[in-house]
């Protein structure tokens, strides 16, 4: 599966439809406590970075699966956005246009 953020300017493809993938992951109390202390002294909040990385990988994987289920070869104009669902969560939405090369 090819993923790209730009529009595909060639004319030899068929649009299969919009595809999406999302993931919302919750933090845990122990990691929150460590992160709150780290927030006071500065530095990267690695637990949150890892949480976002995991959510991103799952969301993109779900979007790719949806495109594959449509018979697509690629997803063009792919976009990624963070989403706020509930306080204490990390949410990611991946979306784009599934295409099949002719």
The pTM score is 0.83
Domain residue limits, the chain: 2-101
pLDDT on residue 95 = 98
Is 6's pLDDT higher than 70?
Answer: yes
Strands 74-83 and 2-3: parallel
Of residues 100 and 46, the one with the higher pLDDT is 100
Cβ-based neighbours of 20, under 8 Å, separated by 6 or more: 62, 63, 66, 93, 94, 95
CATH of 2-101 given 3.30.110.70, 3.10.20.90, 3.40.640.10, 3.40.50.300: 3.30.110.70
């Amino acid at each position: 599966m090819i993923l790209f953020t730009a529009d595909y300017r060639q004319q030899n493809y068929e649009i299969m439809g919009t595809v999406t993938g999302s993931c919302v992951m919750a933090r845990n109390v122990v990691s929150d406590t460590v992160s709150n202390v780290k927030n006071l002294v500065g530095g990267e909040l690695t637990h949150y970075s890892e949480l976002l990385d995991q959510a991103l990988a799952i969301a993109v994987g779900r979007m790719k699966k949806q495109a594959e289920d449509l018979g697509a070869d690629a997803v063009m104009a792919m976009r990624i956005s963070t989403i706020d669902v509930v306080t204490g969560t990390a949410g990611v939405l991946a979306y784009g246009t599934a295409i099949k090369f002719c």
